[in-house]
Amino acid sequence: MPLDTTQPITSNELRGLSQADADTLILRASDKGPASYSRILKLKRSGPEPLYYQLAQSIEDAIQSGAIDHGTKLPPLSVMAAELTLSAQTVRHAWDYLERRGVLICRRGLGTVVS
């Protein structure tokens, strides 16, 4: 059954995507144009909380506020790290944390998608 790109996508649907549907999802997520995550995600480098945790919280806040939509494909880890001037390890740690919480779905070949 083809992917209905007019409706929100559930976590279970994301996990079972075929490559063709994943490509459709990527195109749909990019319809809004490239996001500038450095403007959306706010970090306090001198704050008491670890940067990975601040990034994770900021991503969750952006999703809840609608700045990042459910079903949106995030840029590659290295691109996100460069844009935010963070190490790739810090971004990976934040994404792993969010994946464990069910906020992101990370899938080889698909990338990282907001659930």
pLDDT at residue 19 in the model: 58
For the chain, which ranges sit under pLDDT 50?
A: 5-6, 23-34
pLDDT at residue 55 in the model: 97
pLDDT at residue 29 in the model: 42
**In this structure, what token pair is assigned to residue 111?**
């990338």
Give the list of residues 6+ apart from residue 102 with CB closer than 8 angstroms, or none: 11, 115
Give the list of residues 6+ apart from residue 24 with CB closer than 8 angstroms, or none: 3, 5
pLDDT at residue 30 in the model: 41
Please tell me the pTM assigned to this model: 0.70
Structural domains of the chain, with CATH: 11-114 (1.10.10.10)
